Amino acid sequence: IGRWFIDFAQVENKLALEIDGKQHLILERKLSDDIKDKFLMDNGWKVLRIPWKRPTKEFREDLIDKIKNFFK
């Protein structure tokens, strides 16, 4: 979208799902993410950022619930 790549998108409903690894904790990357999110939201997109963690059973279940609710 624009100059941005979205991890997972539902274009017709303008939903953007971003899965953020450790590199998103670096200040420069965080600032870039903030600019990207602002651009998307200013253009009618809803953005959900999920920090990536080691996929324990509890984390997977929580992640699945967040994603399902976001894309409803």
What tens digit of pLDDT does each residue of 1-40 get?
889 999 999 999 999 999 998 888 899 999 999 999 999 9
Q: Is the dihedral of CA 29, 25, 70, 56 positive or negative?
A: positive
Place 59 in a pLDDT band, splitting at 50, 70 and 90: confident
- Provide the whole-model pTM: 0.82
Rounded Cα gap, residues 4 and 72, in angstroms: 23
Sequence-ordered list of residues with C-beta below 8 angstroms from that of 55, at least 6 positions apart, any chain:
63
pLDDT of residue 24: 87
Instruction: Report which of residues 63 and 39 the model is more confident about.
Output: 39
- Any idea what the Cα angle at residue 14 is, between residues 71 and 26, rounded to 5°? 85
Residues across the chain: 72
